[in-house]
């Protein structure tokens, strides 16, 4: 067992168990919990643990002060609990009480994607490179570049087509305190090879569905649709699984939970995903497609350009932006049927939106130039975005800080107005970033370049100007994060100040004083194996003659049971004492006891701790013999036996 194993196990129980922990991390001195129900945390019991110096709640996080050894404590706690820790940022999810619904939604999405950022950045750079390769180089079959392009698609497909749904389901389960492995299985069911690939659904003829791609249950049938690269269906399915798992853990007996909880929760979640949530997502996608088609081809295309430019980035978050490919192809086909040089006005705006989000990241990179850790994410995300893949930028940075995302939307809106007012068209779907100019028809290239310049300058400038008020350019950390950390430090200092009460030299030199009047004996003579064996520490026992219990030392009350039958004191001289009044008196549930102190109180030697109705306790069949134990392993020698008065000294010789 490790140094903190016992305290870590107790802390797990006292915070409400594993199921009550949504996230956990630590900082320099504190354990940081995000609890599903903060009321379940037994603060008094937690603060009574030897390793714990205090607790407080700050910014929605329940924080337990451990001190300089918090890293070691954290390792043992996560090992015992089986809970995988998350980043400090991820634990901030509970601090949303004052946020608007939109802010909460954006924060939740950002937190779900936080663990996926490294993979998304890697996939984004690879797809960006392939985009450039396929547009700027003639890839001859059998050539090195053609082979490289084909090989790299393995990674790109794994990250964005199949990895996104699986990663989301895993991340949500992890965030909600569920079983991550069930999330992975749920995600795999969304991208199964038995289903029609999401990218082929829009172009699949009605007669091609049945019977190969339909689940027919007699009373009703469902299309077998895959959800590759889809975000919203995956998020909805994953949260459904998380809440189902919580529900079944509550109602299913523990003896069969291992079998029935995964089966019931996963089966119902998969059914909900494919029969309810997924179809809703596709219907929403069809509505979006119809609106886009009507807007881009109608008389209000400039207004539509402003709206589409503004809201294309949020559309990417949902995964519904993939519908735009089908619309682009339909516009190109319809245009070429009427006029060989006509193309699509939609794709140029998509490329501009990508550029705008990348420029917002560029603004963050300028603000955080002194933050090397932030730049590790900023730079590759910006490059990926400019090459046409926006997920790393949006999920890794812009949604995390929020204001860069809106700055990108504003720049995209202005660029969209310029593009549609000048009727900028693309001859084909190309690269959705700066290289997108290759897809633009020659006569529109200049205007698209001007729109692209707006998409670069406006988000960068807006992000930098707004960020100057929100980001400390010297540290690259947001003022909000710094203020939260500072508030936490102040709260910790206040807690520790209370803990480190200054006692006088006289109090530190006090001799032990009998806490009760009565008959004193060695603790080894009591009829309780735990106390008699000195398993909790050496000490004495007193058969009380009166029902008043006093403080044997000046010190702090570290334990004060609600039942009033036991008190722990950390003396001014450093000794730790437990006074346990009677045997099995906890079963009386506080009857017969009148406590005068509470946990955290500072007492002087001789202060009254509690009054006890000894006759009542005896009538309940409970012994009233009271062990007084030195729980800090201090050797104890009893110098006197027999009758003692309350407050009498020179009773003990302490090692």
pLDDT digits over 316-334, tens only? 776 555 555 555 545 554 4
Q: Looking at residues 602-618, what average pLDDT do you find?
A: 92
- Per the DSSP assignment, residues forming a β-bridge with 508 are none
Q: What pLDDT, on the 0 to 100 scale, is given for residue 338?
A: 40
Local structure of 25: helix, strand or coil: strand
Greatest mean pLDDT range, 105-109, 321-325, 544-548: 544-548
- Residue 439: pLDDT over 50: yes
Q: What pLDDT, on the 0 to 100 scale, is given for residue 64?
A: 87
Tokens of 88: 């400090």
- Neighbour count for residue 418 (Cβ, 10 Å): 24
Sign of CA dihedral 554, 558, 561, 565: negative
Q: Are 373 and 97 in contact (CB under 8 A)?
A: no
Per the listing, tokens 């290289």 go with 435
Question: Which of 258-267, 324-333, 385-394, 613-622 bottoms out in mean pLDDT, i.e. has the lowest?
Answer: 324-333
Tokens of 309: 């430019």
The Cα–Cα gap between 321 and 327 comes to 10
By C-alpha distance, which of 350, 343, 353 is closest to 440? 343
By C-alpha distance, which of 552, 553, 550, 551 is closest to 506? 553
Show Cβ contacts of residue 643 under 8 Å, excluding neighbours closer than 6 positions. Answer: 518, 519, 520, 545
∠ CA 336-341-344, rounded to 5°: 70
Find the catalytic residue in 27, 122, 264, 534: 27
Q: What pLDDT, on the 0 to 100 scale, is given for residue 337?
A: 39
Q: Are 592 and 612 in contact (CB under 8 A)?
A: yes
Q: Looking at residues 461-471, what average pLDDT do you find?
A: 90
Tokens of 386: 């400019």
- Residue 441: pLDDT over 50: yes
- Residue 607: pLDDT over 50: yes
Per the listing, tokens 């706690």 go with 77
Q: Looking at residues 36-44, what average pLDDT do you find?
A: 86
How many residues in the chain?
655
Environment class of 203 (CB within 10 Å of its CB; exposed 0-12, middle 13-18, buried 19+): exposed
Binned at pLDDT 50, 70 and 90, residue 286 comes out as low
- Cα 92 off chain centre by: 7
Q: Looking at residues 210-223, what average pLDDT do you find?
A: 85
The Cα–Cα gap between 291 and 530 comes to 75
Q: What pLDDT, on the 0 to 100 scale, is given for residue 135?
A: 62
Give the tens place of pLDDT for each residue, 157-208.
888 778 888 998 998 888 787 889 999 999 999 999 899 887 777 667 777 7
Q: What pLDDT, on the 0 to 100 scale, is given for residue 201?
A: 73
Per the listing, tokens 């009538």 go with 619
Tokens of 119: 């993979």
The Cα–Cα gap between 573 and 554 comes to 9
Tokens of 619: 């009538």
Binned at pLDDT 50, 70 and 90, residue 94 comes out as very low
- Residue 584: pLDDT over 70: yes
- Cα 324 off chain centre by: 32
Percent of the chain with pLDDT over 90: 29
> Does 27 qualify as catalytic in the annotation?
yes
Q: Looking at residues 472-477, what average pLDDT do you find?
A: 71
Give the tens place of pLDDT for each residue, 421-431.
898 888 666 66
The Cα–Cα gap between 293 and 330 comes to 9
Q: What pLDDT, on the 0 to 100 scale, is given for residue 546?
A: 93
The Cα–Cα gap between 401 and 626 comes to 59
- Neighbour count for residue 216 (Cβ, 10 Å): 10
- Residue 358: pLDDT over 70: yes
The structure's pTM equals 0.48
- Neighbour count for residue 274 (Cβ, 10 Å): 23
**Per DSSP, which regions of 199-327 are E strands?**
214-216, 221-223
- All structural domains of the chain: 5-92 (3.30.1360.60), 117-296 (no CATH), 301-469 (no CATH), 506-654 (2.70.70.10)
Percent of the chain with pLDDT over 70: 82
Question: Which of 90-104, 298-312, 355-369, 563-577 bottoms out in mean pLDDT, i.e. has the lowest?
Answer: 90-104
Q: What pLDDT, on the 0 to 100 scale, is given for residue 342?
A: 59
């Amino acid at each position: 067992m490790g140094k903190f194993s016992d305290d870590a196990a107790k802390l797990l129980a006292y915070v409400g168990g594993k199921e009550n922990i949504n996230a956990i991390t630590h900082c320099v001195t504190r354990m940081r919990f995000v609890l599903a129900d903060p009321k379940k945390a037994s603060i008094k019991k937690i603060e009574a643990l030897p390793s714990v110096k205090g607790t407080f709640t700050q910014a929605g996080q329940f924080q337990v002060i451990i001190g300089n050894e918090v890293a070691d404590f954290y390792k043992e706690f996560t090992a015992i609990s089986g809970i995988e820790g998350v980043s400090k940022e991820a634990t901030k999810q509970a601090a949303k009480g004052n946020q608007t619904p939109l802010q909460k939604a954006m924060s939740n999405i950002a937190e779900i994607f936080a663990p996926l950022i490294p993979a998304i950045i890697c996939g984004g750079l690879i797809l960006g490179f392939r985009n450039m390769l396929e547009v700027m180089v003639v890839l001859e079959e059998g050539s090195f570049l053609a082979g490289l392009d084909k090989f790299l698609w393995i990674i790109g497909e794994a990250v964005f087509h199949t990895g996104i749904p699986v990663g989301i389901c895993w991340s949500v389960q992890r965030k909600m305190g569920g079983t991550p492995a069930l999330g992975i299985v749920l995600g795999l069911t969304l991208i199964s090879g038995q289903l029609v690939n999401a990218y082929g659904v829009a172009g699949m003829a009605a007669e091609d569905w049945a019977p190969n791609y339909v689940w027919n249950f007699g009373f009703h049938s469902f299309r077998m649709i895959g959800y590759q690269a889809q975000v919203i269906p995956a998020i909805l399915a994953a949260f459904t699984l998380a809440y189902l798992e919580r529900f079944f853990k509550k109602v299913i007996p523990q003896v069969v939970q291992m079998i029935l909880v995964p089966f019931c929760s996963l089966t119902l979640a998969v059914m909900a995903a494919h029969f309810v949530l997924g179809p809703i997502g596709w219907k929403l996608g069809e509505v979006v497609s119809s609106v886009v088609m009507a807007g881009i081809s109608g008389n209000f295309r400039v207004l539509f350009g402003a709206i589409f430019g503004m809201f294309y980035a949020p559309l990417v978050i949902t995964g519904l932006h993939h519908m735009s490919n089908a619309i682009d192809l339909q516009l190109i086909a319809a245009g070429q049927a009427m006029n060989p040089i006509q193309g699509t006005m939609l794709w140029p705006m998509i490329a501009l939106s990508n550029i705008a989000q990348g420029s917002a990241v560029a603004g963050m990179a300028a603000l955080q130039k002194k933050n090397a850790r932030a730049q590790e994410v900023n730079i590759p995300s910006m490059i990926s975005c400019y090459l046409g893949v926006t997920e790393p930028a949006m999920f890794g940075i812009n949604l995390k800080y929020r204001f860069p995302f809106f700055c990108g939307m504003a720049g995209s809106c202005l660029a969209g107005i310029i593009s549609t007012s000048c009727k900028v068209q693309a001859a084909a779907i190309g690269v959705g970033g700066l290289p997108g100019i290759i897809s633009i028809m020659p006569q529109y290239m200049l205007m698209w370049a001007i729109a692209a310049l707006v998409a670069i300058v406006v988000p960068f400038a807006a992000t930098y100007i707004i960020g100057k008020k929100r980001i400390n350019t010297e540290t690259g950390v947001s003022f909000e994060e710094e203020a939260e950390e500072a508030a936490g430090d102040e709260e910790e200092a206040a807690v520790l100040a209370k803990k480190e009460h200054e006692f006088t030299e006289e109090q530190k030199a006090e001799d032990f004083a009998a806490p009760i009047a009565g008959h004193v004996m060695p603790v080894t003579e009591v009829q309780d194996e735990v106390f008699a064996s000195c398993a909790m520490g050496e000490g004495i026992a007193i058969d009380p003659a009166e029902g008043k219990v006093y403080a044997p030392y000046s010190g702090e009350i570290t334990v004060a049971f609600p039942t009033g039958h036991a008190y722990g004191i950390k003396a001014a001289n450093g000794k730790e004492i437990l006074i346990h009044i009677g045997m099995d008196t906890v079963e009386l549930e506080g009857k017969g006891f009148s406590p005068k102190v509470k946990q955290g109180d500072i007492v002087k030697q001789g202060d009254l701790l509690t009054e006890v109705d000894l006759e009542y306790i005896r009538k309940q069949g409970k012994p009233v013999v009271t062990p007084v134990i030195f729980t800090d392993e201090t050797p104890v020698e009893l110098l006197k036996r027999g009758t003692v008065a309350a407050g009498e000294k020179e009773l003990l010789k302490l090692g």
